[in-house]
Amino acid sequence: MADQEAQRPTQRIQIDDRGVNVESSDYWLITGTPEEVVFRFGNTKHNVGGPIKITNKVNVSYYTAKRLLSAMAQTIKRYEEALGALDSGAGKS
């Protein structure tokens, strides 16, 4: 079985992010339905007493959300191993 897995060709994923919009976010709201997890992102820096403007919304399945959670945890772990622990206290961005 291990020999069969070693012989499988690896699939190469190509990503084209030319022209993608990049926005900074310091606010998020995560909700869900029975079918999906909904991430909403916004920015409070330009909010002067008004509502927070949501700039991006991403819907994913619960399976994708769980894989995202794992990937984010691994990314933070590598960062902290290289550069020190992060304090996730309020007011940090």
- Confidence label for 36 from pLDDT (cuts 50, 70 and 90): very high
For 46-63, how does the pLDDT look when each residue is reduced to its tens digit (9 = 90+)?
777 888 889 999 999 999
The closest alpha carbon to 39, from 69, 60, 63, 25, belongs to 60
Mean pLDDT to the nearest integer, 65-88: 96
- What is the pLDDT at residue 31? 97
List of residues 6+ apart from 64 with CB closer than 8 A? 37
**What is the rounded distance in angstroms from the CA atom of residue 42 to the CA atom of residue 57?**
9
pTM over 0.75: no
**What is the rounded distance in angstroms from the CA atom of residue 71 to the CA atom of residue 14?**
18
**What is the rounded distance in angstroms from the CA atom of residue 40 to the CA atom of residue 53?**
10
**What is the rounded distance in angstroms from the CA atom of residue 75 to the CA atom of residue 79?**
6
Read off the tokens for 42.
């916004």
